[in-house]
Structure 1
Amino acid sequence: MVMEALTLDGDACETSNKLIRADARPVEWIISADPVPYPFALEAMRTRAAAIAAGEAPEAIWLLEHPPLYTAGTSALPQDLLSDRFPVYDAGRGGQYTYHGPGQRVAYVMLDLTQRGRDIRCLVRGLEGWVIDTLAAHNISGARRDGRIGVWVKRPDKGPLKEDKIAAIGVRVSKWVTFHGISLNVMPDLGHYDGIVPCGITDQGVTSFEDLGQLVSMPEVDSVLRRAFEGRFGPTVSASEEGLVSSGAHSQVA
């Protein structure tokens, strides 16, 4: 299953606790200090998701940055790729084209939905809420938009109806285990988005913490992301990235 644009029953998702595991088993919280090549990240996610589905590994949230690149979702249109200035990868997630690069916090989400309500709509709602809570802690007002997955910020300085996207969300689900996740713009080079039509949307732009005048470090954002995640999904425990895949898989892909 891949996640496309969904009409979400927001009230039901917000008032239920289905995204929190009944057994309160903590999610491993993993942070990569160095940029992670996209092919390695894909292989690591697939390996970990399969292990979670088989009951051989705990759930995980993996925070990282990528080198500059574009990814194509299952609905990507060829005409929306405007430049080949960076490598382009088939992501296998829902959605269209997006950009990843330094200064953007990517959070790959590997959760077992058999323990969290088996509701993809509520999962997406929860991921959006996670980002919105994180932004609010930094005095940024983010919001959902019907028919447009992701989190948006109003930009009255650009016009009365203008708004920019600050976070993208794309999820794939296999055997009720999720992978891929969110990308949150902290301080990326927003000019790198010029090579694509981001998420197929032409009438709005993209923004970041830095673009909005909020100068924060990645560790500061990570700390808030963790608290906000725990508020919606339950406890976490710190873990090393070495546990994502075997050392042999890393050497073959990196």
Structure 2
Amino acid sequence: MRTVKGIEWRVSHDLVPYEQALADMDARAAAVRAGEAGERVWLLEHAPLFTAGTSADPAELFNPQGFPVFEAGRGGRYTYHGPGQRVGYLTLDLAKRGKDIRCFVHALEGWVIDTLADLGVAAHRSEGRIGIWTGSGPSEAKIGAIGVRVKRWVTLHGFSINVDPDLSHFGGIVPCGIATHGVTSLAALGVAATLADVDHALEKRLPEFLAKLGPSIPLLADG
């Protein structure tokens, strides 16, 4: 672990059990709220699993391979996590960064998009669809997911980027409730990037992401 821009930058090289990650996130968020710990970006991988957000529809879960399914406590629907996917969990204190959740989510999306651009992939937001996308028309596919929770102005959960996961595993769900478009990865697009390459690109773009979190009008909050 080390510090980048005053934030603990933690990278886990072994697969982290999802229940352990949830407990760790909750404990860290409570410590940040209490002023007992600093902010953190945690980069990791999970074993194959599905997470259910607060809007998850059971009809969108097929799970033929019997992967574990976890209630995540974040917004959104069903999401897959597995090896070859970079997951980033952010514990940031928005009380000190503008108290604007919409700004936070928009900046987080931009961070992932800018990171992918540095790796040679043109990615974008798509009107009316959650997540980070690449391509256009029939070939447009999802390459990253965003799912956050904000409790008493401290953030939990974050994002995922498909580096080189087994894309067939996404067939166990309707990813984020969107059945009309596929899922892709850096490897599927012919980009030979490692998780370390993604981490380096994320770190390079971190200052720009943080700079976008500034004083503005609060739009919503989670008690």
TM-score norm. by structure 2 comes to: 0.90
Name the counterpart of 2:83: 102
Q: Tell whether 2:17 aligns with 1:37.
A: yes
Q: Tell whether 2:88 aligns with 1:111.
A: no
* Cα shift at 1:147: 2.3
Paired-residue identity, %: 56
Q: Find the aligned partners of 1:161 and 1:201 in 2 and give their Cα distance.
A: 14
Which of 19, 24, 27 is matched with 1:47 structurally?
A: 27
The CA deviation string for residues 113-169 of structure 1, in whole angstroms up to 9 with x for no partner, is 0111100101000110000110110111000112222110015xxxx3441111000
Q: Tell whether 2:41 aligns with 1:64.
A: no
Which of 84, 104, 119 is matched with 1:123 structurally?
A: 104
Which of 153, 156, 177 is matched with 2:134 structurally?
A: 153
Secondary structure of 2:200 counterpart:
helix
Name the counterpart of 2:154: 177
Name the counterpart of 1:81: 61
Secondary structure of 2:28 counterpart:
helix
Q: Find the aligned partners of 2:63 and 2:15 in 1 and give their Cα distance.
A: 22
* Cα shift at 1:220: 1.1
Alignment of 1:104-253 (within 5 A): 104-155=85-136, 160-233=137-210
Structure 1 counterpart of 2:8, one-letter code = E
The CA deviation string for residues 80-121 of structure 1, in whole angstroms up to 9 with x for no partner, is 001252000000000000100000000001000011110010
Structure 2 counterpart of 1:97, one-letter code = Y
The CA deviation string for residues 224-253 of structure 1, in whole angstroms up to 9 with x for no partner, is 11111222216xxxxxxxxxxxxxxxxxxx
* Cα shift at 1:65: 0.1
* Cα shift at 1:25: 6.4
Structure 2 counterpart of 1:201, one-letter code = I
Equivalent pair of 2:130/2:176 in contact (CA under 8 Å): no
TM-score norm. by structure 1 comes to: 0.79
Structure 2 counterpart of 1:166, one-letter code = I
Structure 2 counterpart of 1:181, one-letter code = G
Relative contact order, higher structure (CA 8 A, sep 6+): 1
Equivalent pair of 2:5/2:207 in contact (CA under 8 Å): no
Q: Find the aligned partners of 2:82 and 2:160 in 1 and give their Cα distance.
A: 10
Structure 1 counterpart of 2:205, one-letter code = A
Give the unaligned 5+ runs of structure 1: 1-23, 235-254
Secondary structure of 2:161 counterpart:
strand
Structure 2 counterpart of 1:32, one-letter code = S
Give the unaligned 5+ runs of structure 2: 212-223
Secondary structure of 2:98 counterpart:
coil
